[in-house]
Amino acid sequence: MAAKPLRRVTTDEIAAFDRDGAVLVRAILPQEWVDRARAGLDSAIAAPDTLSENLGTLRVDQFPASRSPELRSIIEESPVAEIVGRALESPVRFYMDQLFYKPKGFVPATPWHQDTCYYNIAGHDLIRAWISPDPVPRNVSLEVVRGSHRWNVTYSPLAGRDPETSTRAQAMLENARLDRPMLGADAYEDWTYWSGIRDKSLPLVPDIEAHRDSYDILGWDYEPGDVLLFHGNILHAALGDVTSPNPRRAHASLWAGRDVRYLHRLGQVIPDPVALYEHEPRSGQPLSDFPEVFPVRWSPETES
């Protein structure tokens, strides 16, 4: 049985998540899970795999829980499943996780992006739980464009921009280890972000940073024990480009509620969870068609 949170997610927090697309749920994760997150992040950071990528001084790993028992326990045994399920008011299935590591010293910003286009799933009941064992003050913490989870737009993945028109994409291609995108289970052998350039129909993320006053931007001072919840379709970024005496280690898990379905995207960037490939999923299938890969981790029907 999973561990309980320090307190219930309040009705105000549930309403804020629904309205704004993000909410910082303060002081809800017991210290034991903060400590496990720290241990799991440190061991995963020390042992990169083929799905680890250095984007300048930002290190991003895909599916780190698949190789870290501590991070796996955060998915399977911690109160995180209950916290996301209560905010979504839905049974929840774990889809995938990522690690974001910015060492002490120069802490880079994370550019504005939307996660939707990076995965082969679609739906409104998508929620991200972002936790850190480090205090993350406002000047290096996450920001969202309030309400953008309801804009009903899928933007082009940042890292997948067309190298013919984007210097950022050109630089990524030059650094890529591959000369072709790997999209199936073979992506686990070696992988970079650049397969996203395959879908040229998606609009670019607007230049939010250059026009901050035109957007309703939400941000927070984060403390260990808080859980930052944000919607899977929201535009988000992290402030940075400052010097910090502390590292910034973060674990972000993506959870799916009732309406989430498989959707094969032309410009998919991140491989599917490896166990899904043998089921040969078709677009439109609900994740509940794959209970062995995506078991329900928490449900309001079984808990009051």
Question: Which positions lie near ligand AKG, rule CB under 6 A?
Answer: 100, 110, 115, 128, 130, 236, 238, 250, 252
Cβ of residue 11: shortest distance to ligand AKG, in angstroms? 25
Nearest to 99 by CA among 46, 135, 149: 46
Minimum Å distance from CB 180 to ligand AKG?
Answer: 26
**CB–CB of 148/196 below 8 Å?**
no
Least distance from C-beta 137 to ligand AKG, angstroms? 13
Of the pair 208, 238, the CB lying nearest ligand AKG is at 238
Give whichever of 53 and 115 is closer to ligand AKG, judged by the CB atom. Answer: 115
Q: Is 80 or 250 the residue whose CB approaches ligand AKG more closely?
A: 250
CB 46 within 8 A of CB 38: no
By C-beta, is 146 or 282 nearer to ligand AKG?
A: 146
- 212 closest CA partner among 109, 131, 85: 109
- Is 201 exposed, middle or buried, given 0-12, 13-18 or 19+ CB atoms closer than 10 A? exposed
Instruction: Write the Ramachandran bin of 89: left for phi over 0, alpha for psi from -120 to 50, otherwise beta.
Output: left
Q: Name which of 9 and 159 has its Cβ closer to ligand AKG.
A: 159
Rounded to a whole number of angstroms, the minimum distance from the CB of residue 254 to ligand AKG is 8
Would you mind telling me the total number of residues written for the chain in this entry? 304
- Minimal distance, residue 22 CB to ligand AKG, in Å: 11
